[in-house]
Structure 1
Amino acid sequence: MNSFDLHMHSCYSNDGEFTPQELIHMADEAHLTTIALSDHNTPKGIADMVRLGEAKGIRVIPAMEFDTLFEELEVHVLGYGIDYEQPYFQSLFDSLSERKKAVQIQRVEKIREVFDLDIDPAALLKRYAGKNPFPAIVHHIMEQYKDKEEFADYQPGGRRCEPQPVNFYWDMCSAGKPCYVRVEYSSLKDTVQRIHDAGGIAVLAHPWLNFYQREERLQRALDEGIDGIEAYSNYHEAKHNRYYDAYCRRHGVLMSCGSDFHGKMKPKIRMGEYGYEKDDGEDILQAFLKRLAK
């Protein structure tokens, strides 16, 4: 069992389940001593998480996971050790939520067109209104069209069935995929600069989709100021973890490890588990903390 987990989400993420108090209890039960709360585009749960962690003897690193654009790709960046009370970070979630709402109906319309579905996008968005309607809409579509050949991989027992809405999004709705609709996120470069200006370090989250065996592209991202790579992630297969571990060690790039724990949105993911099994990973953690303290 690993003693640290540098990527998890609370109920303040639009796809997270548990409160900071519940996460600290779970981290304590899992014997974790260092964790990072990294909610999507919001620092709302950090203060409580830090306070509750201190009471249990758990180090909590303030962090956020940012949506960014890099070469027309949607790339997630983890900002660790930031001054999260800065107004930009405090207001980011609300400003992005408005942008995301504006494209939700366009995305569902794209899905309708691409897969020739008899659905009403506006009615579905109204029916499943909430902080994140997309997963419920995907579940609805998969249930309504369970016999559709194109959706076989996402049905129970299928190759991409868990987590169904997350996999469907990355497979069909991310940049370059048939149902993609652009959201005007900040650029990778601008986001990294924000993180650095707030005293933090910037790490590429779960990089397998956009950067696996694409070293020239990865180097261009590093040239934008990225400090490290989330080498071990539950998005990765074992071969991806090995690849990024070797890449980081070969090029002297900071390495991090995180479960990307959400709760029911990603039901197979367990806090503190991310595919690192060689040892306790203490050398990775200490190198990370040393860089964070600079």
Structure 2
Amino acid sequence: MNKSYIDLHMHSLYSDDGEFTPGQLVEMCHEAGVKIMAIADHNWVKAIDEAKKKAEELKIKYIPAIEIDCTYKEINLHVLGYGIDYTNPAFNQLGEDILKQELNCSLKKLELTNQLGFDLKKEQLDALSSNGVYTGEMFGEALLKDERYVDHELLKPYRSGGSRSDNPYVNFYWDYYVQGKPCYTEVIFPSLEKIIQLINDHGGVAVLAHPGNNLKGKFDIFDEMVEKGLQGVECFSSYHSLETNDYFYQKAKELDLLFTCGSDFHGKTKPAIHLGENGCVSPDEIKELLIKYQLIRG
């Protein structure tokens, strides 16, 4: 996959599924040749101060960002907010509200997982979670490390050489814990319109994350979302095919939107994803747009 000097989507340990500290991520970006970056944690802005300081030391342009869960027409989406006033308490309050719901869902997830034919214990998940939230990736990790299930048929696709072994933990999450899957537990997220308003009210630009993932088979509603106020799209993503990248690249140009690129790097939950690898074919164009939107200085 193309390597870009811009990576505007990655996660620190302040995301439930992230691994590294903000400072470590900035150092890793420096080593990977990334010159413009943003950490966009799930519903939190706790990483930004530390990351900004380290980025200044290493002469990396840093954009304050967040990735917020929301819904549109009953579809769960992720919207990236760039250039936000992250000191406003509204963002971390959003994280607190979602955290409470996720804590309430975690034991239900354990129950549903065991209905698949397992006998995981709460203690196995507690060993992987720092805050009591059990993510789908944690269930994948716990099961794949459990010696009782070495030959379990359901887990074979996620083991070395299997069809889902490139990113086994997150693939397990996608296969069993997202909307419509057997272990899905509902969290009530804010509406797309509300999140666009929140981001805009605090100086940010609202950008749809990895639409190829969340809008599968429903690309036609993207135009509606732009009419609702969406200002940009992450057209280049490590999750997208070349065709999907190009579709949203052309769509962004047609609608005069900000378009961005992001690896969505997490660490161990997505080992096949690397910083700077996001399929971007036009980093210079993106840099010019970031200047136009006043997200960086030239």
Q: Name 1:263's counterpart in structure 2.
A: 267
Determine whether 1:133 maps to 2:138. Answer: no
d(CA) in 2 for partners of 1:248, 1:108: 41
Amino acid at match of 1:133: Y
Q: Name 1:20's counterpart in structure 2.
A: 22
Shift of 1:171: 2.3
Shift of 1:107: 2.0
Q: Name 1:176's counterpart in structure 2.
A: 180
Shift of 1:170: 1.9
Q: Relative to 1, partners in 2 of residues 1:54 and 1:244: Cα closer, same or farther, differing over 3 Å?
A: same
**Secondary structure of 2:291's match?**
helix
Amino acid at match of 1:15: D
**Secondary structure of 2:64's match?**
strand
Shift of 1:122: 4.3
**Secondary structure of 2:273's match?**
coil
Determine whether 1:119 maps to 2:122. Answer: no
d(CA) in 2 for partners of 1:59, 1:243: 28
Determine whether 1:217 maps to 2:221. Answer: yes
**Secondary structure of 1:54's match?**
helix
Shift of 1:118: 3.6
CA contact (8 A) 2:233 2:252 kept: yes
d(CA) in 2 for partners of 1:202, 1:241: 19
Shift of 1:56: 2.0
**Secondary structure of 1:232's match?**
strand
Shift of 1:101: 0.9
Determine whether 1:61 maps to 2:63. Answer: yes
CA contact (8 A) 1:72 1:175 kept: no
The superposition leaves residues 12-61 of structure 1 with CA deviations (integer Å, 9 ceiling, x where unpaired) of: 22222222222222222223221112111111111121122122221100
The superposition leaves residues 81-106 of structure 1 with CA deviations (integer Å, 9 ceiling, x where unpaired) of: 01111111133323322210101121
Amino acid at match of 1:130: S
d(CA) in 1 for partners of 2:263, 2:68: 17
Q: Name 1:78's counterpart in structure 2.
A: 80
Q: Name 2:168's counterpart in structure 1.
A: 164
Greater CA drift, 132-141 or 21-30: 132-141
More strand by share: 1
The count of corresponding residues between Structure 1 and Structure 2 is 290
Runs of 5+ unmatched residues, structure 1: none
How high is the TM-score relative to the length of structure 2?
0.88
**Secondary structure of 1:286's match?**
helix
Shift of 1:227: 0.9
Shift of 1:208: 1.1
**Secondary structure of 1:274's match?**
coil
d(CA) in 1 for partners of 2:31, 2:128: 34
Q: Relative to 1, partners in 2 of residues 1:145 and 1:120: Cα closer, same or farther, differing over 3 Å?
A: closer
d(CA) in 1 for partners of 2:257, 2:239: 20
d(CA) in 1 for partners of 2:101, 2:227: 28
Determine whether 1:6 maps to 2:14. Answer: no
d(CA) in 1 for partners of 2:126, 2:274: 32
Amino acid at match of 2:218: R
Shift of 1:204: 0.9
d(CA) in 2 for partners of 1:38, 1:194: 16
Shift of 1:293: 5.2
Greater CA drift, 14-23 or 213-222: 213-222
Determine whether 1:30 maps to 2:29. Answer: no
Shift of 1:129: 4.4
Q: Name 1:48's counterpart in structure 2.
A: 50
Q: Relative to 1, partners in 2 of residues 1:149 and 1:240: Cα closer, same or farther, differing over 3 Å?
A: farther
Aligned-CA RMSD value: 2.3
d(CA) in 1 for partners of 2:96, 2:200: 22
How high is the TM-score relative to the length of structure 1?
0.89
Amino acid at match of 1:217: I
Q: Percent identity?
A: 36
d(CA) in 1 for partners of 2:12, 2:216: 28
The superposition leaves residues 86-140 of structure 1 with CA deviations (integer Å, 9 ceiling, x where unpaired) of: 1111333233222101011212322333x3x142564544554433533332223
The superposition leaves residues 136-165 of structure 1 with CA deviations (integer Å, 9 ceiling, x where unpaired) of: 322233454444444432222222223222
d(CA) in 2 for partners of 1:126, 1:270: 27
CA contact (8 A) 2:120 2:143 kept: no
CA contact (8 A) 2:233 2:257 kept: yes
